[in-house]
C-alpha cells in the first residue's frame, strides 16, 4: 500500500494516459488490440497523413468521437475529482487523453496537452469550432468562414503539444508527481516525470504494467486504475485510517 499522506498545501501534478480510460471501454494505443494495431499511426495521426488522405483521418476520428456519447468516466476518473477537491488550487491534472472524461467526471484544473476530440480547427484559417457544431455527415467537414478543410483539434506526431511551458512550471514546483495509465513512450509527455524527479518531487506510478520510464518512479502501484486508485486516493488524503 502507501505511507504517503497529502496535506492541502502539497502541490500535486497528475499526468494521465489512455490507461485511465480503458475501464470506460475506450481502447488504449499500445496494449494488445490497441488502436495502433488496427491503424497505421503515420496515416491517421500525423499532419502528413492528413494532407495525403484527410478522408481516412476523418473516418478514424469520427469513429472515436461517436464512441464518446456511449462512455462514462470510471472510478479512476472520480478518484481524481476527490483528489482535486482536497487539494484545490494545489492540484493540476495534465492529460494526454482527448476523450474529455476527466472533465465529464468533474475535474476542473485540466490541461489537455494533446488536444481534444470535442473541438475542431480549420486547417486554413485556424478558426475553432465545437465538434458538435460540425456536420459530420460531410466526408470532409468544411470551415464556415473560409471553406477550408476542418481537422480534429488534436496534437499529431511531429506537432507541438499544448501548454508545455505551463506544464513544465507546474511540474518543477510539484511536491508529488503521479503518472497514471500511460506507457511513458511518447515525448515530451513522458519527459515530465523525469523533470519532476530532477526537481525533487516524490513520484508515484499507477499502471497495469511497468511504464517505459519506470526508473524515475519512486513508488509504483501495479494494477487497474479503476480498481486501485480510489483506495490509494482515500489513503493519501487520509479519509481512511491506515
131: left (phi over 0), alpha (psi -120 to 50) or beta: alpha
Q: Quick check: 142 binds Zn ion (CB under 5 A)? A: no
Q: Quick check: 197 binds ligand BV8 (CB under 6 A)? A: no
The DSSP result for 41-90, as a single string, is HHHHSSHHHHHH-HHHHHHHHHHHHHHHTT----HHHHHHHHHHHHHGGG
Which of 114, 191, 221, 239 is an active site residue?
114
Q: Quick check: 148 binds Zn ion (CB under 5 A)? A: yes
| Least separation in angstroms between CB 68 and Zn ion | 24
| Least separation in angstroms between CB 151 and ligand BV8 | 11
Options 11, 14, 19, 216; binder of ligand BV8; rule CB under 6 A: 19
Options 155, 178, 204, 217; binder of ligand BV8; rule CB under 6 A: 155
Options 125, 140, 166, 185; binder of Zn ion; rule CB under 5 A: 125
| Least separation in angstroms between CB 121 and Zn ion | 8
Query: How do strand 110-112 and strand 91-95 relate by DSSP bridges?
Result: parallel
239 is catalytic: no
Q: Which stretch binds ligand BV8 (CB under 6 A): 85-93, 100-108, 138-146, 156-164?
A: 156-164
Residue 143 touches which of ligand BV8, Zn ion, none (Cβ within 5-8 Å per kind): Zn ion
Chain-centre distance for alpha carbon 81: 15
Strands, E assignment, the chain: 12-16, 91-95, 110-112, 115-122, 128-130, 150-154, 176-180, 202-207, 219-222
| Least separation in angstroms between CB 134 and Zn ion | 12
Residue 148 touches which of Zn ion, ligand BV8, none (Cβ within 5-8 Å per kind): Zn ion
Q: Is the peptide bond before 188 cis (omega within 30 degrees of 0)?
A: yes
Contact 165, 194 (CB under 8 A): no
Positions marked catalytic: 114
Amino acid at each position: 500500500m502507501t505511507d504517503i499522506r497529502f496535506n492541502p498545501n502539497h502541490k500535486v501534478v497528475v499526468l494521465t494516459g489512455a490507461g485511465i480510460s480503458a475501464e470506460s471501454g475506450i481502447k488504449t494505443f499500445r496494449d494488445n488490440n490497441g488502436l495502433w494495431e488496427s491503424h497505421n499511426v503515420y496515416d491517421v495521426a500525423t499532419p502528413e497523413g492528413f494532407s495525403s488522405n484527410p478522408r481516412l483521418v476523418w473516418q478514424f476520428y469520427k469513429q472515436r468521437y461517436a464512441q464518446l456519447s456511449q462512455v462514462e468516466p470510471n472510478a479512476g476518473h472520480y478518484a481524481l475529482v476527490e483528489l482535486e477537491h482536497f487539494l484545490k488550487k494545489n492540484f493540476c491534472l495534465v492529460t494526454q487523453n482527448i476523450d474529455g472524461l476527466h472533465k465529464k467526471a468533474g475535474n476542473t484544473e485540466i490541461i489537455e496537452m494533446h488536444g481534444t476530440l470535442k473541438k475542431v480547427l480549420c486547417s486554413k484559417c485556424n478558426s475553432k469550432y465545437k465538434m458538435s457544431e460540425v456536420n459530420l455527415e460531410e466526408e470532409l467537414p468544411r470551415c464556415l468562414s473560409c471553406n477550408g478543410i476542418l481537422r480534429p483539434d488534436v496534437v499529431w506526431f511531429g506537432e507541438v503539444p499544448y501548454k508545455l511551458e505551463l506544464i513544465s512550471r507546474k511540474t518543477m514546483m510539484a511536491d508529488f508527481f503521479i503518472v497514471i495509465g500511460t506507457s511513458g513512450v511518447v515525448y515530451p509527455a513522458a519527459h515530465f516525470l523525469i523533470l519532476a524527479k530532477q526537481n525533487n518531487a516524490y513520484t508515484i506510478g499507477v499502471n497495469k504494467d511497468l511504464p517505459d520510464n519506470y526508473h524515475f518512479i519512486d513508488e509504483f502501484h501495479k494494477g487497474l486504475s479503476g480498481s486501485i486508485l480510489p483506495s490509494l486516493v482515500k489513503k493519501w488524503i487520509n479519509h481512511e485510517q491506515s
